[in-house]
Amino acid sequence: MLLIDRSNEFRIFAQGIGYPINTNNWELIVLNFCLDFVDCFNVMSGENSLDHNQIHKCMTLIRQIARGKSNMTEMTHIENTAYLIAEDFKSIYKRME
């Protein structure tokens, strides 16, 4: 359901982080990346406690998103796309429970 509704966002995000879309299960990898990124945002915004390994993971994800971007607008667009994908997944998952 999510892949049908948000297929363009999945493609935009995969291209934004430089992940090829011609591999097997690329959508699952993109979804996991987005969920990890939203978790990192929650950690960095102070909603959850800070863990040393999580900080390094978050910085790695942010670096992956920022790679190849020429300005903050491009980076923010990709981050917002990740947020939308993750939040849509969470809402669909809650409805299925």
Terminal alpha carbon distance of the chain: 15
Q: What is the pLDDT of residue 82?
A: 94
Q: What is the pLDDT of residue 40?
A: 87
Residue 91 tokens read as 């809402």
CB 79 within 8 A of CB 61: no
pLDDT tens for each residue of the chain, 97 residues long: 777 778 889 999 999 999 999 998 899 999 999 999 998 888 888 766 678 888 899 899 999 999 999 999 999 999 999 999 999 999 988 888 7
Residue 82 tokens read as 């990740």
Q: What is the pLDDT of residue 41?
A: 85
Cβ-Cβ contacts under 8 Å for 52 (sequence gap 6 or more): none
pTM of the model: 0.87
Q: What is the pLDDT of residue 93?
A: 87
Compute the chain's Rg from CA coordinates: 14
Q: What is the pLDDT of residue 96?
A: 83
**Rounded CA gap, 26 and 92, in Å?**
20
